[in-house]
Amino acid sequence: MGKKHICLDIGGTKVLGAILDEKDNITFKVKKKTKVDKGLEKVEERIIDVVDELIKESGTDKNEIAAIGAGAPGVINEETGEIIYAPNLPWKNYDIKKVMEKRFGIPFYIGNDANMGMLGEWKYGMAVKKENVVGIFVGTGVGGGLIINNKLFTGKRHDAGELGHMSLNTEGPYCNCGQRGCLEAYASKISITREIKVQIERGRKTILKDLLGEDSIIKSKDLKEAIDAKDSLALEVMDRAVYYLAAGTGNLINIFGPDMVVLGGGVLESLGDFIMPRVKDYVKRFTLPEILNGTEIVRSALGDDAIIYGSLAIIKGKKG
């Protein structure tokens, strides 16, 4: 039996795959667009392509691969490997484990992407051996993961941890989920992009206009470029996003009294230096001081590889 692993981060826009060697180091990576608009079969094909390419391009023998692990958006039963539903992918009661094991003849494991990100940080990143941890992952949307009593908490129906859909303003802007004032409606790249576009249409001068181009959602690296250039709109929009990220963080600190809050995802990966000091300052408005004193707020150590490492953790049965 092989000692290497393939781990996948399946997202609404891209599938990231990695081969990890027997020492858990990433030795090879492949990234492809998900092509979610082309339907279930196309998405399945893209995932299979990524695995095929990882094996072929890295010159790995398939027998060296002990297991494949993955994180994907949606409500996923990580015990059976079934995707119960996924809001942004064409999946409902989809037995991806069966499909993948049939195709590759290799054991396959899968969990919710934000939960896998949390698990990665807890087993291989910033939150190793912490008893209670809240993970908030800011990217296209805002996902969450919870470690409670030294264990990944996903609830009885595998749907817990929707931290991005905590309302921070009962009369705030509508979120894609239909609620109002969700953390995701303020701090995600979807909402940041919406805000930027509105301001550009109102004639606001900003280098974000050229950076955004035809993109439907702004790239984190473009946001960073604008922040580095001290673009006033970028500074203002990001400051507002960080304020609400701090409000969400504060609420979760009051609820959980956690040892640590890990902030991660693509936006933190690119803009952590801008975000972290501001979030630590704003969060004081939104916490009980005695509880905040016991909570570390840190930036993800694994960045874009958090879900890859979380997938490795579920392969190894390390859910706590």
**Closest separation in Å from C-beta 119 to a second copy:** 16
Stretch that binds a second copy, among 6-14, 26-34, 141-149, 301-309 (CB under 8 A): 141-149
Contacts with 311 (C-beta within 8 Å, 6 or more apart), sequence order: 7, 8, 9, 69, 70, 71, 109, 110, 111, 116, 120
Out of 180, 194, 197, 219, the only residue in the binding site for a second copy (CB under 8 A) is 180
Structure tokens at 193: 């992009």
Interface region with a second copy, contact rule CB under 8 A, candidates 33-41, 110-118, 273-281, 288-296: 288-296
Kindly state the smallest distance separating residue 130's Cβ from a second copy, in Å. 9
Interaction between residue 25 and a second copy (CB under 8 A)? no
Other beta carbons less than 10 A from residue 88's beta carbon: 16
Choosing from 121, 162, 231, 305, the residue that interacts with a second copy (CB under 8 A) is 162
Write down the least CB distance from residue 110 to a second copy, Å.
18
- Bridge-partner residues for 19, per DSSP? 6, 28
Closest approach, Cβ 201 to a second copy, in A, equals: 26
Taking a C-beta distance cutoff of 8 angstroms, is the pair 126, 260 a contact?
Answer: yes
* Cβ-contact 160, 152 below 8 angstroms: no
Calculate the alpha carbon distances from 5 to 39, 54, 64, 78, 318 in Å.
28, 11, 8, 18, 15
148 binds a second copy (CB under 8 A): yes
Selected binder of a second copy within 38, 56, 85, 102 (CB under 8 A): 85
d(CA 310, CA 121): 7
DSSP state letter for 174: B
End-to-end CA distance of the chain: 25
- Nearest distance, CB of residue 224 and a second copy, angstroms: 26
Q: Which of the residues 212 through 271 are near a second copy (CB under 8 A)?
A: 243-244, 247, 250-252, 254-259
88 binds a second copy (CB under 8 A): no
Of residues 41 through 80, those in contact with a second copy by CB under 8 A are 75
Determine, following the binding rule CB under 8 A, whether residue 143 of this chain makes contact with a second copy: no
With respect to a second copy, which residue has the nearer C-beta, 154 or 220? Answer: 154
- The residue among 182 and 192 lying less far from a second copy, judged by its C-beta, is 182
Q: C-beta of 132: minimal distance to a second copy in Å?
A: 6
Q: Would you put residue 161 in left (φ > 0), alpha (ψ -120 to 50) or beta?
A: left
Nearer to a second copy, 177 or 200 (CB): 177
CB closer to a second copy out of 91 and 286: 286
Instruction: State how far the Cα of 17 lies from the Cα of 25, in Å rounded to an integer.
Output: 13
Q: What sign for the dihedral angle of Cα 178, 180, 183, 186?
A: positive
Least Cα distance to 9 among 282, 311, 243 occurs for 311
List 25, 59, 61, 149, residue binding a second copy (CB under 8 A):
149
CA-CA distance, 65 to 1, in Å (whole number)?
Answer: 8
Contact between 165 and a second copy (CB under 8 A)?
A: yes
Q: Pick the closer one to a second copy by CB: 58 or 167.
A: 167
Read off the DSSP letter of residue 284: G
Query: Applying CB under 8 A, which residues contact a second copy?
Result: 75, 85, 131-132, 144, 148-149, 151, 153-163, 165-171, 177, 179-181, 243-244, 247, 250-252, 254-259, 285-288, 290-291, 294
